[in-house]
Amino acid sequence: MPILVERKLFKIGEGGFAVTLPKAWINYHQLKPGDKVDIIVDGDLIIRVKKQKTDKKEDIADL
């Protein structure tokens, strides 16, 4: 699902900055407030959905 959107940085707190994520991307990945994302910075900046850890009881049941 490649999309290209322009976003503005906005200042939060003292010295911090934030950027919003496109609603289409949020909806596509079915994210909700409190979900986590990984941010990878290596020349480029990559934001990806953080894999949710399953409950340990479920992991044991799968064995």
pLDDT tens sequence across 1-22: 677 889 999 999 999 999 999 9
Residue showing tokens 């409950």: 55
- Looking at the structure of the chain, the number of domains it has is 1
The domain that holds 23 is classified in CATH as: 2.10.260
Prediction pTM value: 0.64
Query: H-helix or E-strand containing 27?
Result: helix 23-28
Using pLDDT thresholds of 50, 70 and 90, give the confidence band for residue 55: low
Number of neighbouring beta carbons within 10 Å of residue 57: 8
Residue 1: inside a domain, yes or no?
no
Domain that holds residue 45: 10-62
